[in-house]
Amino acid sequence: MRASKRDELVEKALISFYNNGFHATGMDMIVIESGISKTSIYNHFRTKEDLILAVLRLRDEKFRNWLFRRMEELADTAKGQLLAVFDALDEWFQKDDFKGCLFIKASSEYQRPDHPIHKQAAEHKRLLHLHFEALAARTGLQAPDQVARQILLLKEGAIVTAQLQGSENAAGDAKAAAKYILERLEEGR
């Protein structure tokens, strides 16, 4: 099935925003890079912020689907999947088009916690936390919420480190820390 003009626009805008940032990407740049007229863009989206929200929803869906699928492919236990987060991230970090996290970028460019774009970025992180918490609960560890927060913190730190420093070991270092945390919690059971 052929993608609709709206879907095509959101896909192309995602690439532009990811490569250039939200404030630095004007509607004229979207027109040039997407090949879609400004009139057509505004027929689908009232404002640039509406387009950004659609881009973030698409990226959230794509990223979570990819990450959760890779975690399941890389490990068949809940604990293994919590650690596989970092193997999947390492695959992402090695790609030529890796430029960090779109949601971190969104929250830094739209810093007010009540701004819809900031809220959408926070929702992505909340959904990741819920998935990690469910996995942590399946391991039988105490305080699955705490485990999920720690895994998410390590994940976010690895992304920022890989993006800022190009660290080849960012995911591996985060995985080692996560493994240490999980092992200490298992010992305390």
Residue 1: the pLDDT is 42
Residue 185, pLDDT score: 87
Q: Report CA torsion sign: 164, 165, 168, 172.
A: negative
> Selecting from 3.20.80.10, 2.60.130.10, 1.10.357.10, 3.30.360.10, what CATH number does the domain 57-187 have?
1.10.357.10
Q: What is the pLDDT, as a whole number, of residue 14?
A: 96
| Domain residue extents for the chain | 57-187
Tens digit of pLDDT at every position of the chain (189 positions): 456 889 999 999 999 999 999 999 999 999 998 888 999 999 999 999 999 999 999 999 999 999 999 999 999 999 999 999 999 999 999 999 999 999 999 999 999 999 999 999 999 999 999 999 999 999 998 899 999 999 999 999 999 999 999 867 999 999 999 999 999 988 876
Per-residue confidence (pLDDT) for residue 26, from 0 to 100: 93
Q: How far are the Cα atoms of 14, 113, 138, 160 from residue 1, in angstroms, in the given order?
A: 21, 38, 38, 37
Burial class (CB in 10 A: 0-12, 13-18, 19+), 114: exposed
8-state DSSP, 78: H
For position 189, what pLDDT does the model report? 62
Average pLDDT, the chain: 94
> How far is Cα 104 from Cα 116, in angstroms, rounded to an integer?
14
Residues 6+ apart with CB under 8 A from 143: 185
Whole-number pLDDT of residue 97: 92
pLDDT at 5 (0 to 100): 85
